[in-house]
Amino acid sequence: MRRIVLTVGMLLALGIAGVVVAQDATTPATPANPATPAAPAKEHVIATPAGIKWGDAPPAFEKGATFTVISGDPSQAGPFVVRLKMPARFKIAPHFHPSDENVTVISGTFMIGMGEKFDAATMKSLPAGGFVLLPAEMRHYAMAKTPVVVQVHGMGPFALTYVNSEDDPRTRTAPAGK
């Protein structure tokens, strides 16, 4: 674990060094202000509610939800911000993630429960402005009490693994006589 952390740190250091070298090469005449740290290599991201383009949610989710990536790429290493819009009564069966999941409720009322069994009676209600941190590997489940938009941020690569494989729309076979 420690070795992985050091390796990532070294890569980041190399990347930053590369940016500094590149800037020095392209802007030699600009006087450097020693009090100003090197500018981050990333571009800024501004999202306005009207400018967000919603698309189908990833196949890990049941049909009916829409999804947008605000910044980053949850499939790649590094920070990401995404939003998920769900109709009322939309459910996410017990599952877990490889890294921490930070959920902020943007609108509506979201319900979240801990553990491996869906139990509506023990779920907590989170109104707009509510937040929950689900640590890596912690089993949890969720439901939209009303139409809901949540924002999820964390460190990629992110993934969703269902506790029970029959809850996974990606691998579920066609319903037999249901």
Q: Name the closest residue to Cu ion (Cβ).
A: 101
**Strand ranges in the chain using DSSP code E only, listed in sequence order:** 55-56, 66-71, 78-86, 91-96, 101-107, 110-114, 124-126, 131-134, 140-144, 148-156, 161-162
Q: Give least dist CB 158 to Cu ion, A.
A: 9
- Of 70 and 132, CB closest to Cu ion: 132
# residues contacting Cu ion (CB under 5 A): 1
Q: Give least dist CB 123 to Cu ion, A.
A: 13
b or e along 124-158 (b: 16 or more beta carbons within 10 Å of the residue's beta carbon)? eebeeebebebeeeebbbbbbbeebbbbbbbbbeb
- Of 42 and 89, CB closest to Cu ion: 89
Q: Give least dist CB 170 to Cu ion, A.
A: 15
- Of 72 and 140, CB closest to Cu ion: 140
**DSSP three-state, residue 26:** helix
**Please, which of residues 91-150 interact with Cu ion by CB under 5 A?**
101
Q: Give least dist CB 60 to Cu ion, A.
A: 10
- Of 61 and 101, CB closest to Cu ion: 101
Where along the sequence are the contacts to Cu ion (CB under 5 A)? 101
